[in-house]
Amino acid sequence: MSLEKGGIIKHDISKSPKTGDWAYSKPQVDKDKCIGCETCVQYCPDACIEMVKHKKDIKKKADIDYDFCKGCGVCAQVCPVKAIVMKK
C-alpha cells in the first residue's frame, strides 16, 4: 500500500464515496410544477441539484443527481410550490 506522505492529497472525484447510497427516500421533481426559482439548489447540502432544460420549457427545471443525494428532503421542504416530493 503506497500512501501519500502525511496524508496530503488532491481532490479526485473517482475516490469519492457515492453518498446517494445513504438515501432511504428520494426527491422527485414534478417538472410541470417546478417554476425554476432555484431555491432548492442553494440549500441542498450535497449540491446535487442542477437546473436543466426540460422539454420545450423556457425555464430551466430542477434536476437531481442521485449519485450524491442523501435523501434529506431539504429541497422538498424549501420548494415554494411543492414541486418536489420525497418517495421511497
Partner 1 sequence: MENKTIKNKTTVKALNGGYAMAEALRQIHPDVMAVYPITPQTTIIETYAKFKADGLVDTEIVQVESEHSAMSATIGACTAGARAVTASSSQGLLHMAETLPVVSGLGLPIVMCVSSRALSAPLNIHGEHGDVMAIRDLGWVQIFSEQAQDAYDNTIIALRLAEMAGVPVMPIMDGFHTSHTTERVEVLGDEIIQSFVGQFKPENALVDQKNPITIGTLALQNTYFDFKIDQEKAFQKVKSLYKKICVEYGKISGRKYGFFEEYKTKDADFVIVMMGATAGTTKDAVDKLRIDGKKVGLLKINLFRPFPYKEVGVALSHAENIAVLDRAMSFGSFPPLYQDIVTSMQSAGSRKHDIASYVYGIGGRDTMQSHIISVFKDLEEGEIGNKIKYLQ
Partner 2 sequence: MNKELTKKLSSGHATCQGCGIPAIVRTVLGATDEPVIVANATGCLEVTTTIYPYTAWKVPYVHSVFGNAAATAAGIDAAQKALMKSGKIKKKAKVVVFGGDGGTYDIGLQALSGALERGHDFLYVCYDNEGYMNTGGQRSGGTPYGANTETAPAGETSFGKSQQRKDLMEIVNAHHIKYLAQSNVAYVNDLKMKAKKALKTTGPSFLLVLQPCTQLWKFPTSEYVAVGKLATETNFWPLYEIEDGKYTINNIVKTPKPIEEFLKVQGRFKHLFTDKNKQVIVDIQNKVDENLSKLVKRAEKS
34 binds partner 2 (CB under 8 A): no
28 binds partner 2 (CB under 8 A): no
Radius of gyration of the chain (CA): 16
Name the burial class of residue 70, with classes exposed (0-12), middle (13-18) and buried (19+) by CB atoms within 10 angstroms of its CB. middle
80 binds partner 1 (CB under 8 A): no
Least gap, CB of 31 to partner 2 (angstroms): 17
Q: Build a one-symbol-per-residue string for 43-62: x at contacts with partner 2 by CB under 8 A, - elsewhere.
A: xxxxxxxx------------
81 binds partner 2 (CB under 8 A): no
d(CA 44, CA 34): 16
